[in-house]
Amino acid sequence: MDERLDWIAVDWGSTRIRAVALGPEGVIATAEAANTAHPGAAGHEAALADLIGGWLAPGRATLVIACGMVGARHGWTEAKYRAVPAGTDPAEALVRAPAADPRLDLRIVPGLSQDRPADVMRGEETQIAGFIAGNPDFDGVICLPGTHSKWARVSAGEVVGFRTAMTGELFALLSTQSVLRHEMAPEGEDPEAFLDGVSRALSRPERLATELFSIRAEGLLHGLAPRAARSRLSGLLIGAELAAMRPFWLGQRVAVVGAPGVAAAYAQALGAQGVAAECAEGADMVLAGLAMIRARIRSARA
């Protein structure tokens, strides 16, 4: 409990929940936990109470603005998707969520949906809002790599369309649970093997099915190094994503918003295709997006 507390920002991902307590002069405290919330409002409220209950002052309702899976069908309360084309600023579409604890005034940021081709996002729309808040004239494509990588076309303050690739999830499954795990180092990078994988996948995307098993065979027959195997897999999957997303990045202005390591890998892969992407830190952009919404609520009240 801190007297300076003004509001709390929550990034509710499918695997992690990250909360930031903010006052007039910025960050007061941060907290993070695995997302182990049970489906529904009670389960989610219990998980949030574990994380930030100690920050809340008695006798008043603290504003909490949350984005991500908290607004999914089995989340706290469903925040229906906004359909694209949609403004990058989601402030007017916030959904109030019921809370048993009177100290909570919870607002959920809805995700975005696209009818054809069918696609959805929850959480990334807030990173996009944060990026655009800092780059209001941006016209181009925002790539948000992750478990489910998103590519969004942004023009004139609107998300025009977007697509998702399951690259991060595929990498996790293949590197830890498939036969390829026998060839993999648990960490480490081999930049040459990474770019080789990107190039293979981009030049012959139809061969992905066989390129993956080649990692196993080259380990058995030619002693492919475990670190090179890991980077090759990463390169093949990111290359396959770039192949699918070519209409998004070819000849476009591209910004990569994500965790520094993975954003740098995407920027490197794009750079090898002649695209000079700018990078922004994903966690900063979530906070910037939520802070922009906070400011809009304040000005609406004023």
Of the candidates 35, 135, 155, 178, which one interacts with its own copies according to CB under 8 A? 178
Q: Which of residues 14 and 35 has its CB atom nearest to its own copies in the complex?
A: 14
The Cα 104–Cα 259 span in angstroms is 30
177 makes contact with its own copies (CB under 8 A): yes
The Cα 198–Cα 266 span in angstroms is 10
The interface mask with its own copies, positions 238-277, x = CB under 8 A, is --xx-xxxx-------------------------------
Q: What type of residue sits at position 159?
A: V
220 makes contact with its own copies (CB under 8 A): yes
100 makes contact with its own copies (CB under 8 A): no
| Interface region with its own copies, contact rule CB under 8 A, candidates 38-46, 53-61, 203-211, 284-292 | 203-211
Q: Residue 13 is encoded by which pair of tokens?
A: 């991902």
**279: burial class by Cβ within 10 Å (0-12, 13-18, 19+)?**
middle
Tokens 């941060």 found at: 30
Contacts for 277 with CB less than 8 Å, ≥ 6 apart: 143, 254, 255, 256, 266, 267, 270, 271
Contact yes or no for 116/222 (Cβ under 8 A): no
The interface mask with its own copies, positions 70-89, x = CB under 8 A, is ---x-------x--------
* Closest to 237 measured CA to CA, from 193, 287, 293, 280: 193
The interface mask with its own copies, positions 135-174, x = CB under 8 A, is -------------x--------------xxxxx-xx--xx
Q: Which residues of this chain interact with its own copies, rule CB under 8 A?
A: 14, 73, 81, 113-115, 117-120, 148, 163-167, 169-170, 173-174, 177-180, 205-214, 216-218, 220-222, 237, 240-241, 243-246
